[in-house]
Every structure is written in structure tokens, then in C-alpha cells.
Amino acid sequence: MSAREPAARPYDVVVAGSANADLVVRVERRPASGETVAGSDLATFPGGKGANQAVAAARLGARTALLGRVGDDGHGALLRASLERDGVDVSRLAATPGPTGVALITVGPEGDNSIIVSPGANARLTEEDVAGAADLIGAARVLSLQLEVPLPAVLAAARAAEAAGTRVVFNPSPPAPVPAGLLALCDPLIVNEHEAAFLLGEDAPEDPEERASALLTLGPRSVVVTLGAEGAVVAGEGRVPSPRVTAVDTTGAGDAFTGALAWRLARGDGLREAAVFAARVGAAAVRRPGAQSSFPTAEEVEAL
């Protein structure tokens, strides 16, 4: 069976990736080097690109599981409980000695953010972990991947998906060099403008549609470039609009887009159709603070 066709499998979306505690402070402006500025009270939210994408898909109705690692600390317990409340299968979310991953996030007055990630247990996800979860990956219609866990584990997961006929959705974030063998398994490769420029280097075109086409030459089977409030571009299929909303916090909006797109692909939608829906989900997600706490249900998306 083609990886593009819906299969009778127990899971719609399996995510192999990170789980972080997001420590968020709102500021009127970001400090310059050596400067101190006052911020809001510290707020702690469940996050991490892997967990975010799993929750985004689950909120929309997908049967979802997360393959990853958390620490044996309070943050790990918080994340596990939060994922379970949202209906994500955490049976392959292993606990490892040491700290859970943490993201230190500052949010500016326009809802834009800056993020520093301390990987913690995420850095300990191994190829052996992936091999032990080959049955889980093979039980999914779509596997979603990012780069907040080690590249060898990501590549092993993509190869396991290919062997099982599971479609691979890959967001190379945070940006890092990606081997051609991994890019060749992506269907689609999802990048924002910064990630696209990183992959293309100095010769990156300015026009988003040209960038999407240029990314295809690197080997992925399909490409989506996200443009924030301007929507997205599907390589070869043009621009996808985004609803106009007032942004409160953009944290996790890209993960909401990716999780939603993976869910719609698992349902059998074409890539452009899935991207249209995902753009609406991403727009809905910036209207509230936090990452997972802002992700909409299917009913909220329909009302947008």
C-alpha cells in the first residue's frame, strides 16, 4: 500500500520527538547584552515540538502517540499527565534519570517570541529506542519528526516509517544540517522562512514560492513553507492564505500547523487541502498564550 493512502492502522499520527516544560516570561522589550529588564510572573506550560505536534493532532481528533523521553523530575510528571489528558498515548514516552527538557521563552508585546532550549532527557533518545518502537511507527498512517532530539534517532525513525509504508512529515527545527537520505524520505518537508534559508544557504531566493521550489531540488518528495500571518506555500501548488487574527503569543503556532497537517494527511487529504486546514489551526493557536494551551479543537477551527 502507498504511504499516501489511508491505512487501517491503530494510530493516525505518531510523533517521535521532544517534550519540554516551557518557562515563559512576557517582556515589554528584550534586554540588550548586559542589560536587565523586568518581566511578568513566570508561567510554566507543557511544550516541546514533539509533544506540541502530538497534542495539536489529538485536539483535532487524531489517534496519536508520542515516542520520546522525559526526566524523572517534576517537569516530566507534569508533561506526562498533560499529554494523557489530551488523549495522547504515552506508553513509549520513557522516563530517564536527570532533568526533563526545558524551553526558556520570552514573549514580546506583539506576541513574538525568543526561545532557548535546554534539551535534558530529549538528548537521550536513541536509535535503540526507535528500534524498540518500530511496531508503533508501523501502526501509524503518518510519522511526524523534528530536530529537538538527536539526528540519529530521527533518521532511524524515518527509515522505520519508510519500511512500514508510513508517511513521513519532517520539520527540521531547530535548523541543522540534514542528510540527503533523510530529506529523500520527507513527504512533506515543512519549514518556515528561516529554516528554508538555512537549508538553501546563500543562494536562497527571496520569493517564498521560489524558495519552496528550490527546496524540492534538495530531494524531499514535497515541500511546505510556512509564512506566519501570511499563510504558507505548497511547492508547485502556490500560496495558502491564513485567517487574520490578533496575535497574543506565537509560541507553538508552527507545531500546531504541522500537527494539523499531519492529521489531515492521515485522513487522506491532498497536501494543499491539508495545508489550508493547517493554516487555520496555526492562526487559531496564536490567539491565546502558551503552546499546547492555545491549540484549538476541531470545533474552534470551524468557528474561526
Within 10 Å of residue 62's Cβ, how many Cβ atoms? 26
Q: Determine if residue 285 is labeled as part of a ligand binding site.
A: yes
How many Cα atoms occupy the beta-carbon half-sphere of 293 within 13 Å?
14
State the cell numbers at 277: 486546514
Q: Which distant-in-sequence residues (6+ apart) come within 8 Å of 52 by Cβ?
A: 252, 255, 256, 259, 291, 292, 295
pLDDT category, 270, cuts 50, 70, 90?
very high
Q: Determine if residue 226 is labeled as part of a ligand binding site.
A: yes
pLDDT at residue number 246: 85
User: How does the average pLDDT of the chain come out, rounded?
Assistant: 93
12 is an active site residue: no
pLDDT at residue number 294: 85
pLDDT category, 296, cuts 50, 70, 90?
confident
Q: Determine if residue 231 is labeled as part of a ligand binding site.
A: yes
Of the candidates 179, 222, 172, the residue with the CA atom closest to the CA atom of residue 198: 172
Question: Distance between CA atoms of 175 and 178, rounded to whole angstroms?
Answer: 9
Q: Determine if residue 251 is labeled as part of a ligand binding site.
A: yes
pLDDT at residue number 17: 97
* Helix H or strand E encompassing 216: helix 208-216
Query: Which CATH superfamily groups domain 11-17+49-95+125-303?
Result: Ribokinase (3.40.1190.20)
Domain ranges of the chain: 11-17+49-95+125-303
Q: Determine if residue 20 is labeled as part of a ligand binding site.
A: yes
Q: Determine if residue 252 is labeled as part of a ligand binding site.
A: no
Per DSSP, the three-state class of 38 is coil
Q: Determine if residue 49 is labeled as part of a ligand binding site.
A: yes
Q: Determine if residue 113 is labeled as part of a ligand binding site.
A: no
pLDDT digit string, tens, across residues 145-186: 999 999 999 999 999 999 999 999 999 999 999 999 999 999
DSSP readout, 64-93? Answer: EEEEEEEESSHHHHHHHHHHHHTT-B-TTE
Q: Determine if residue 62 is labeled as part of a ligand binding site.
A: no
State the cell numbers at 46: 507543557
pLDDT digit string, tens, across residues 108-124: 888 777 888 899 999 99
pLDDT at residue number 1: 41
pLDDT digit string, tens, across residues 44-80: 989 999 999 999 999 999 999 999 999 999 999 999 9
pLDDT at residue number 298: 86
Say which of 73, 187, 255, 269 is annotated catalytic: 255
Percentage of residues in the chain having pLDDT higher than 90: 77
Question: Distance between CA atoms of 193 and 225, rounded to whole angstroms?
Answer: 7
Q: Report the range of poorest mean pLDDT among 19-28, 175-184, 280-289.
A: 280-289
- Which is higher by pLDDT, 86 or 246? 86
Q: Report the range of poorest mean pLDDT among 1-15, 32-46, 144-158.
A: 1-15
What letter represents residue 84's amino acid?
E
pLDDT digit string, tens, across residues 239-265: 999 888 888 877 789 999 999 999 999
